[in-house]
Amino acid sequence: MLDEVETKNLRSERSQQMTTTPIGEGSLGCLVRLFFSFRNIIRSRQSNFGMLSRLKRSARARRARAKISRTWQILRRKCNRGYCSICERQVYFAIEGPYLRNDYKCVNCQSIPRWRALMFVVAELYPKWRELKIHESSPGGPLSAKLARECPKYLPTHFFPDTPRGQIHRGFRCEDLMAQTFENESFDLVITSDVFEHLPDVALAVREIMRTLKPGGAHIFTVPWVRWKKTLVRALVKDGVLQHLEKPDYHGNPIDGSGSLVFTEWGVELPFLLQDWGKFPVIIHTIRDRSLGIDGQFPEVFVQQKPY
């Protein structure tokens, strides 16, 4: 028995010595300690990377949920489904502000009512518009992008005061709508969107547009028309000098951040003046239809067609 007890004690002492004996201070011990140190560092970094990855995924998920929530709120409260003439399919239209003419947007292409109304009238009157030669003055927005994308003979122009007419500047041909360099009967369609209020002499522009249209062609356009009031001239150019008759008012300009000066607020006389200047009848299409995403102030689309 004594021998067995002593043997057990010896074994326990040896085991204690084995477990408590420090690793030698030689090179092998240093390598072992370095190995375990690097392993712990790598594990800690992997843990940190994993945590960052989880945080990023959760942040993306939160943003996605917030976007879905906002979209749902829009769809539930201020949206309707309908046909967008620019997208050419069923979409949702969202009301993003009180001024529907600029704030009633297609959720898909971000177009506004006057662009959709223009496209709707163009497609109704000229269903083969993709095959026609189209001139658009002062383009900008989804309507212009659609025309440029789908109509091979589409020609957009802007007026740059410091560039000779007919030359290319910033990717656009420079043209003054009141004094164009195009040949007679050059285009099947001319399109302008809210341009006529910014011209000092609209009579010249109408005559030039009619000159450049082919027989059977048409000028299809929008302009803010305050039909219940008389026309108000806010500014004019006399002997080459700009004169302000009212407080200067500016609208957005796709090529100039300072905006475009409003020369005229067109009133009840406009259709009669257009017919007198252009020598051809004017048809006004008034569209208010939320199933087409068209509503708001000044919904009229004017069409002045040159006879065959």
CA distances from 63 to 57, 76, 113, 159, 269 (A): 10, 20, 30, 43, 52
CA distance 212 to 209: 5
Q: Are 104 and 295 in contact (CB under 8 A)?
A: yes
Q: What are phi and psi of 276, to 5 degrees?
A: -70, -45
Q: Domains for the chain: give ranges and CATH numbers.
A: 112-305 (3.40.50.150)
Listing DSSP states for 164-176 in one string gives -TTSEETTEEE-B
Q: What distance in Å separates the CA atoms of residue 242 and residue 247, rounded to the nearest whole number?
A: 13
- The per-residue pLDDT for 254 is 86
Tokens 């500014």: give the residue: 235
Supply 286's token pair: 């008034």
In order of 9, 18, 24, 29, 34, the CA distances from 21 in angstroms are: 18, 5, 9, 13, 19
Q: Locate 144 and state its tokens.
A: 């212009």
Cα–Cα distance, 178 to 204 (Å, whole number): 5
The confidence score (pLDDT) of residue 290 equals: 96
How does DSSP assign 6-43, residue by residue? HHHHHHHHHHHHHHHSPPPSSHHHHHHHHHHHHHHHHH
Residue 77 to residues 82, 94, 159, 239, 289: CA-CA distances in angstroms? 15, 9, 41, 54, 18
Tell me how far apart the alpha carbons of residues 210 and 118 are, in angstroms, rounded to a whole number.
Answer: 19
pLDDT at 36: 62
How would you write the pLDDT of the chain (308 residues) with one tens digit per residue?
A: 444 444 444 444 444 444 444 444 455 666 656 666 666 666 666 566 565 566 667 777 777 776 676 566 555 657 999 999 999 999 999 999 999 999 999 999 999 999 999 999 999 999 999 999 999 999 999 999 999 999 999 999 999 999 999 999 999 999 999 999 999 999 999 999 999 999 999 999 999 999 999 999 999 999 999 999 999 999 999 999 999 999 999 998 888 888 999 999 999 999 999 999 999 999 999 999 999 999 999 999 999 999 99
d(CA 248, CA 237): 14
Residue 71 CB-half CA count within 13 A: 10
Provide the β-strand partners of residue 18. Answer: none
What are the strands, taking DSSP E only, across the chain? Answer: 79-84, 89-95, 104-106, 134-137, 154-158, 168-169, 172-174, 187-193, 213-222, 232-233, 235-238, 241-244, 250-251, 260-261, 264-265, 282-286, 300-305
Given a contact cutoff of 8 angstroms between Cβ atoms, the answer to whether 282 and 271 are in contact is yes
Whole-angstrom distance, CA of residue 138 vs CA of residue 235: 20
